[in-house]
Structure 1
């Protein structure tokens, strides 16, 4: 299954390690440190302030789509692999 996470980007659901909402990401010192340490892997998909952080094994995406919406998309069964 693929999930649309912003712009024209779809990623495999099984590649997602974590989806964090913006407030959780900004309020956690550990998450901020993680993002800083991996800033070379961060891809900003949002022209406006991002709404969620999508972490995969090889990249970190700042998505304009809310984490709740991404969760709903990940639970849909009719999307093809």
Structure 2
């Protein structure tokens, strides 16, 4: 029998880590959601949805956000205890 809850649980954890890192880094740089979205070429509501874990994000948009924050892409996905 296959455990189908594991992938969903893992995905939720990654979304939560992404959201926490995105919020922390954005605030550290003194950026609003609107400023980050503008710098990344995205809509402000998209950034808000990612921060609220309401949207799945593509690798392309993840890269855009990392570039706008001047951080490596992988740093957005690291557990907070590794970079906080």
With the length of structure 1 as denominator, give the TM-score of the two structures. Answer: 0.27
Higher strand residue share: 1
Structure having the higher Rg = 2
With the length of structure 2 as denominator, give the TM-score of the two structures. Answer: 0.26
Higher helix residue share: 2
